Amino acid sequence: MSAVLLIEDDDRIRLSLAMALEDEGYTAHAVATAEEGLTAQRRYRADTVLIDLMLPGMDGYECIRQMRRDDDVPIVVVSARDDTHDIVAALEAGADDYVVKPVKVKELAARLRALRRRGRSAGQPLPGTSVQTFGDLEVRPEAGEVRLGGEPVPVTRTEFRLLCELADHPGLVLSRQQLLQRVWGHEFGDERVVDVHVGRLRQKIERETGSPRHLVTVRGLGYKLQP
């Protein structure tokens, strides 16, 4: 049974969502503040984290940042805010996915399943794929690691999955929708999720983030990985 940590300050949402998630087969641990959430995650190590952005005290963005420092657990933002600024800021803070309230419980469960499916990553090898080299960038799906100039680069599970997906098609352009489908399991989703993850990855694997060499944008089409 999969464990979910739910950080939500609205009592009614917390209660109802926890019940509904348990109906879907998850063990839900629900807390009301970011501080409690950080403590709970250190103690219980949930498989996935659901977090609201507007929290009393420490806000959701800060909570995501702090949690990301030592944990690559998939984090899904469940927020009533659907403004581009909020979505991008949450993703840039380190969230893996973003859903806008009210989200259907079945859809939320489907997203969590997708996250778990792609949970095999950094440190958890993907079978059946070999080392891919792009200049000084090395993607090692077997070992679950990324190296830049021989040095291991710390990436989250989602970033790693994204990189592996691109590395599987060297030099080929993958559209944002293809990436959303393959990495996030969204049939039709918000392409900003891909853009922000690409931006996060570039900060880790590109020497010059402004003019990326490996992970390049093909205007109007998508992204590709090249030496």
Q: Is 92 left (phi over 0), alpha (psi -120 to 50) or beta?
A: alpha
Tell me: does residue 188 bind other proteins (CB under 8 A).
Answer: yes
What is the smallest separation between the CB atom of 80 and other proteins, expressed in angstroms?
4
**Edge-to-edge strands of the sheet including 75-79?**
26-31, 2-7, 48-51, 75-79, 97-100
Tell me: does residue 19 bind other proteins (CB under 8 A).
Answer: yes
Which span (13-21, 39-47, 119-127, 128-136) binds other proteins, by CB under 8 A? 13-21
Please, which residue, 12 or 69, has the CB nearer to other proteins?
12
Task: For the segment 97-156, give every residue that binds other proteins (CB under 8 A).
Answer: 100-106
Q: Please state, in angstroms and rounded to a whole number, the distance separating the CA atoms of residues 133 and 170.
A: 9
What is the smallest separation between the CB atom of 91 and other proteins, expressed in angstroms?
15
What is the smallest separation between the CB atom of 53 and other proteins, expressed in angstroms?
10
In the list 17, 112, 193, 205, the residue contacting other proteins (rule: CB under 8 A) is 17
Under DSSP, the state recorded for 214 is: S
Give, in degrees to the nearest 5, the angle at Cα 67 between 61 and 71.
140
Q: How many residues does the chain have?
A: 227
Tell me: does residue 82 bind other proteins (CB under 8 A).
Answer: yes
In the list 119, 175, 182, 204, the residue contacting other proteins (rule: CB under 8 A) is 175
Q: Is 220 exposed, middle or buried (0-12, 13-18, 19+ CB in 10 A)?
A: exposed
What is the smallest separation between the CB atom of 43 and other proteins, expressed in angstroms?
25
Q: What backbone torsions phi and psi does residue 115 show, to the nearest 5 degrees?
A: -65, -40
Please, which residue, 9 or 71, has the CB nearer to other proteins?
9
Tell me: does residue 29 bind other proteins (CB under 8 A).
Answer: no
Residues in contact with other proteins, counted by CB under 8 A, come to a total of 32
Query: Interface residues with other proteins (CB under 8 A)?
Result: 10, 12-13, 16-17, 19-20, 23, 54, 78, 80-84, 86, 100-106, 175, 177, 187-188, 190-191, 219-221
